[in-house]
Structure formats: structure tokens, C-alpha cells
Chains A and B, each alone.
Chain A
Amino acid sequence: GENVEQHPSTLSVQEGDSAVIKCTYSDSASNYFPWYKQELGKGPQLIIDIRSNVGEKKDQRIAVTLNKTAKHFSLHITETQPEDSAVYFCAASISSTDKLIFGTGTRLQVFP
């Protein structure tokens, strides 16, 4: 069945450094790849997404890259701030459905 692997499971960085989270998906027909940020006790918040016809997308300090050949995509956060601390989930669409399959999450801690 469809699967999304996410690494690392935890990531600690110093404020101002960059953070990179990587995901690999199994369904070659997946065409939509969102990233969610979830703070403690809250619902996931969509922070950026990318579709299969685009290789990279950037929004201020966050960017996502997609390599369809290798079936992996990554989230890049530059100039990290303590408020970036949260759990981040990647997801991939399941072909021909309106469903997503989620990665296992990465707990990011940004130390001042």
C-alpha cells in the first residue's frame, strides 16, 4: 500500500540556523504534497504545499523541493526562530482520491 517515510523524527537547531526535513513517498501517481505544522494541543496548520508540476516553492523563510524521479520532497526552514518549534508532518496525495497519507512527523526544537 501507499507509504510516506519522514526523517528525522526529532531535530534540534540553534536559533538562526536552517532546518531540513525529508520525506519519501511510494505512490508514483501522487501529485500533491502538503506540509503541516502542529503546535502542542492544536490542529495541524497547512504551511506550504507543492504540486507535481513544480520542482520548488518558497514562501518567506520556508521552502519545499520535490524530486519526482526519486519520489522525495523536503521542507527547508531558514533563519529558524523559537516559534518554529512544533511537530511537522509531510503528506502525499493518494492517486485518484481526495485523501492524504501522512508521514510520521518530525519534532523540531529551536533553541534560543
Chain B
Amino acid sequence: DADVTQTPRNRITKTGKRIMLECSQTKGHDRMYWYRQDPGLGLRLIYYSFDVKDINKGEISDGYSVSRQAQAKFSLSLESAIPNQTALYFCATSRTSGGSQETQYFGPGTRLLVL
């Protein structure tokens, strides 16, 4: 979805390096998420944020940190990258809907290779 953008789209880094993946959205949504996808494992939630002052750990937050710089921006950092963090990373957004179902909108993904 063009309303959710991720940079970079592809990244190669070395073990021990710090890297940041960025996500921006123009949908005006308050909720943002970071997932990783590994072959054959579906998507797993890393971190999520319901507004600028709210950050929550997901299933697999170890080795990652996030920053919600503004409602439209949510960054994922790997403080010291390791090879098993090689994966496809997706950012997603949704709008709080007062108890009814929310649809999440995903970005195009960032393919990360850690050597």
C-alpha cells in the first residue's frame, strides 16, 4: 500500500552493526506495528505502538528496539545485528475503531541480510 512506506527496501549489513529501518504512513492512523517474516513461519510481531507515547513488546522483541518519533513515523532498530535477524520486515498501521474490527495496512517490506 503506497500510504505506508518503508526505507530502505533492501539492506545488507555485517554482524555487530547497528541499523535502523524506518516506516512512514500518510493514512492518519494512530497504531503502528513491526513484524518480521521468515520463510515458512508466517509473520511474527516484534513491537507495536498505539500512539506516540505508547510502545509495547510483541512476540519476539529481544534484540530490537523501536522509536515512535511522531504519529506517522515508527522506526525499528537492531542495536547489534546478528545473522539470525536476516528476514523480511514489515511495518503495518491501523486505526483505533472503538471495539470493532481493525484492518491493518502493510508496507512493502524491507529485506535485511546480516552477514
Q: Do A and B come from one complex?
A: no
